[in-house]
């Protein structure tokens, strides 16, 4: 049994992609579960965060400003070129930091507590900004006006991103035994991520099969996601270097909750843009794997040098 669990943990990403691809005729129908799965993942993640760890600084607010202004600026720059790619870039940049980012940040030598504070702010920023921008960028059908669209999207997105944090803090304060149990169940967020990934991939494949867009657009979105991934990690590291938070800022800006980005794309924008968000999942994991490999090599070299110095 332990062998199977280890195998699933090590190969969750490729398994989710393969199973979503193979089973898309059936699995895409489960897309309605995605917001509930995202909500549960966030609740389990936030249940392990003590309020004492949340300390906000100029660094965090500047990062949020870069996240929001950057998403609008990139959309405005790319819209004359290709509106689909512009939408895809905007939603990826706007999307908050992924729930597993703190773990990777800590392994790379970054500040997990600072990252967690930014994750809370970035979720709040997305919850407010997405309902404001989406009706302008992709007006809803049936003659729905801006304010009606704004409140419709707000009531879907705001609870999804903010309510898990509020619930986690309330439970921790008023029902400590339940809070402790949820914190122990945090590992289940990983398995929920795998299930959600499978459904999102299935929905993306279904869109590719049923939408009249050609393969070149899908390929362009995949390449665009790779470029965005590189730019976000690089920009984050550059901003962080001014605050001695280079690793933390790089992960905060580059490692996105791309499953949320895919769901937002499929629900409120042109569904084909979810190809970019789904591709981003692969690109950011590949980049993180490379970073972790470099970190392991650096640690091994330092250990070897220390051993040699002791031998001398």
Write b or e for each residue in 166-193: b if 16 or more Cβ atoms lie within 10 A of its Cβ, otherwise e: ebbbebbeeeeeebeebbeebeebbebb
pTM here?
0.87
Q: How far is CA 48 from CA 43, 78, 190, 231, 255, in A?
A: 9, 39, 14, 31, 20
Residue 141 has pLDDT above 70, yes or no: no
- Looking at residue 311, what is its pLDDT? 63
What's the rounded Cα separation, in Å, for the pair 282 and 226?
A: 9
DSSP string, 194-219: HHHHHHHHHHHHHHHHHS---HHHHH
Domain count of the fold of the chain: 1
Q: What is the DSSP letter of 138?
A: S
Can you give the CATH number for the domain in which 291 is found? 1.20.1530.20
Q: What is the pLDDT of residues 78-118, one digit of tens each?
A: 999 999 999 999 999 999 998 778 778 888 888 888 888 89
When computed from its CA atoms, the radius of gyration of the chain, rounded to whole angstroms, is 20
Confidence of residue 42 (pLDDT cuts 50, 70, 90): confident
Tell me how far apart the terminal alpha carbons of the chain are, to the nearest angstrom: 47
- Looking at residue 312, what is its pLDDT? 60
Confidence of residue 3 (pLDDT cuts 50, 70, 90): low
Q: What is the pLDDT of residues 155-182, one digit of tens each?
A: 888 888 889 888 988 888 888 888 888 8
Q: What is the pLDDT of residues 58-71, one digit of tens each?
A: 999 999 999 999 99
- Looking at residue 288, what is its pLDDT? 85
Residue 215 has pLDDT above 70, yes or no: yes
Range of the domain at 70: 2-311
């Amino acid at each position: 049994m332990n062998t199977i669990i280890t195998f699933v943990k090590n190969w969750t990403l490729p398994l989710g992609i393969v199973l979503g691809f193979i089973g898309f005729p059936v699995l895409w129908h489960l897309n309605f579960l995605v917001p509930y799965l995202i909500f549960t993942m966030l609740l389990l993640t936030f249940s392990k965060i003590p309020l004492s760890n949340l300390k906000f600084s100029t660094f965090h607010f500047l990062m949020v400003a870069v996240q929001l202004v950057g998403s609008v600026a990139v959309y405005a720059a790319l819209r004359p070129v290709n509106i689909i790619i512009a939408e895809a870039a905007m939603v990826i940049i706007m999307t908050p930091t992924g729930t597993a980012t703190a773990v990777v940040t800590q392994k790379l030598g970054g500040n997990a507590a600072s990252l967690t504070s930014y994750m809370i702010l970035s979720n709040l920023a997305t919850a407010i900004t997405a309902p404001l921008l989406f009706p302008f960028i992709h007006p809803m059908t049936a003659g729905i006006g801006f304010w009606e669209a704004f409140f419709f999207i707000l009531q879907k997105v705001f609870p999804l991103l903010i309510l898990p944090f509020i619930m986690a803090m309330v439970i921790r304060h008023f029902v400590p035994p339940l809070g402790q149990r949820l914190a122990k169940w945090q590992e289940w967020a990983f398995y929920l991520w795998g299930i959600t990934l499978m459904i999102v991939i299935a929905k993306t494949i279904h869109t590719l099969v049923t939408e009249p867009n050609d393969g070149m657009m899908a390929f362009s979105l995949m390449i665009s996601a790779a470029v965005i991934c590189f730019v976000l990690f690089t920009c984050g590291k550059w901003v962080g270097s001014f605050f001695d938070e280079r690793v933390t800022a790089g992960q905060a800006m580059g490692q996105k909750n791309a499953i949320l980005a895919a769901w937002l794309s499929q629900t409120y924008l042109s569904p084909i843009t979810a190809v970019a968000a789904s591709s981003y999942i692969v690109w950011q994991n590949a980049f993180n794997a490379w970073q972790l490999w470099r970190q392991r090599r650096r640690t091994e070299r330092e250990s070897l040098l220390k051993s040699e110095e002791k031998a001398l």
